[in-house]
Structure formats: structure tokens, C-alpha cells
Amino acid sequence: MESEVSQCRVEEALGIVVGKWKPVIILYLLHEGTKRFSELKRSMPGITQKMLTKQLRELEEEDIIKRVVYPQVPPKVEYSMTDYGRTLSPILEAMHEWGTNHVIHKQTIKVVEKEA
Amino acid sequence: MESEVSQCRVEEALGIVVGKWKPVIILYLLHEGTKRFSELKRSMPGITQKMLTKQLRELEEEDIIKRVVYPQVPPKVEYSMTDYGRTLSPILEAMHEWGTNHVIHKQTIKVVEKEA
DNA sequence: CGGTATCCGACACGATACTG
DNA sequence: CAGTATCGTGTCGGATACCG
């Protein structure tokens, strides 16, 4: 098996989860199930409607989340993970765990550097 | 356990591996061991010296890779993964695998859409 | 309620040239 | 060989305003 740099498919996965709010959205929907647009917005202080809409559309485009519109007034739109989207769960959880540890590791590095 | 959006640490991990060439560099060093700057450059067609240097410096900064300079003429610099950097391996491999499957999945989606 | 439309700044990335 | 330095560009994300 040749170690061909050109056939690295990490970018394919990264492209899905990269984005200021995408990991948060995915983890939130994974843990909380189905949520309305306004609930998502309320759960993410600082996000603008434009950004939330954009990130949701991109995730929907990649079949990670499902968007259901209820034709009524006032409008109601619900978002949830697709079965396929749920396959991202191990990766996201692994990154969350690694990231948590990394925060600690960075402190360790700084201490070592100071002692040197 | 509260599902607090603000304490999502996925970004911490993402910040390390995001970058046009970082996943490629990491996977290459994971698989091939220690490599010189020129070997890395030769293995990544299209990368510029500036970008390679920058990505390597950032990975070194986070203690993912190790940089060893041999004080001689002409210069020789070797790069390799740190033990800590190797802890990224499961995540990178998982993303590579997921990404490989995603390429196939996208085709499936398009077919389904056309039939609809 | 759940969106669009428009403008704008920051920065990632690239091309190119120069250096100990 | 293994880098800097400089300049240019496109995309991402934020602020703000308006709409069915």
C-alpha cells in the first residue's frame, strides 16, 4: 500500500465539521434531539441568524441534519440529525475529549518551558 | 450533567488539524516517521515553502511535531511526531475513513435526488 | 418565527523574490 | 537546504436592516 499524499480523505470529513458553529450545532442536536430554529439560536449566545441559517443549510446539504418545515403561521421549523449524520458522533466526541485534554496539556508545556 | 454549549472543546482539537496541509503533514509523519524539510516538500506537490514552514511551525508550537536542526552546511532539519502528537492518530484515521465513505455517500444522495 | 440581502473587515492561502 | 519578507486575493464570519 503506497502512502499517497494525494488520496488523503481527511479534508472530506473536516469540511463538514469546520465552521465557527458547526461542531456546537452537531453536538447539541446529537445530545438534545430535535430542536426548533429559535431554540438553537437561544442555545448559542453570540450567533447571528444569518450564520445559524448558513451553517444549518450547509449541514443539511451534506445530509448531516434534517430540516422539517411545518406550513403554519407563525412558521415552525425543526432540525434533527440524520442517521448518517449520527455516524459523525464518535469523531466529534473523540475531538471533544482530545480538546479537553489539550487545554491541560498546553499548561504543562508552558510550565516546562519556564523551568528550562 | 448540563449540556452547556459554551464548554464545547471540539474547537481545540479542530484548531490543530485545520489548515490546507496540516492533516497531510501529520498523516505523512505518522506513517513515514522522521522526514527532512525537503522530503516533506517533495511529497506535497503544490505546497509552497512559505506554507510548509508556517504549518510546521504551528504544529511544533502545539507540541504535535518535533523539529531538530543539525548545525551544518548545508542545513539539515528533521521533523517527526511527538508522543503527544501521536495521540491524534485515532482521530485523523477516523476522519480519513469517514471521509472516504462520504465521497461514496454523496454519490448515493445525488442518485436518490434524481429519482425523486 | 425564521428567515434574506448587503456591506465590510480579518485572515488564510498563494506567488514571487531574496538569504545565511 | 531551509528558510524569511512582501504583496495580493478570496473566503469566512459579523453587523445591520428588511421580509413573508
Yes or no, beta carbons of B12 and A63 under 8 Å apart? no
Do residues B114 and A23 lie in contact, with contact meaning Cβ atoms separated by under 8 Å? Answer: no
The one-character DSSP state at A35 is E
In whole angstroms, what is the distance from residue A55 CA to residue A9 CA?
22
Which stretches of chain A are DSSP H helices? Answer: 10-17, 22-32, 37-43, 49-61, 83-86, 89-115
Spacing of B109 CA from D6 C1' in Å? 46
Do residues A104 and A87 lie in contact, with contact meaning Cβ atoms separated by under 8 Å? Answer: no
Q: Nearest residue of B to residue A107 by CA position?
A: B62
Separation in Å, CA B71 to CA A101, B35, B77, B78, B97 = 35, 17, 9, 12, 40
Whether the CB of B24 is less than 7 Å away from nucleic strand C comes out as no
Residue type, B71: P
pTM above 0.75, yes or no: yes
Spacing of A4 CA from D16 C1' in Å? 47
Whether pLDDT at B1 is above 80? no
Which residues of B in 48-107 have their CB below 7 Å from strand C's atoms? 48-51, 74-75
Residue-level pLDDT at B7: 82
Residue-level pLDDT at B16: 98
Residue-level pLDDT at B3: 52
3-state DSSP of chain B: CCCCHHHCCHHHHHHHHCCCCHHHHHHHHHHHCCEEHHHHHHHCCCCCHHHHHHHHHHHHHCCCEEEEEECCCCCEEEEEECHHHHCCHHHHHHHHHHHHHHHHHHHHHHHHHHHC
Whether pLDDT at A5 is above 80? no
Residue-level pLDDT at B79: 98
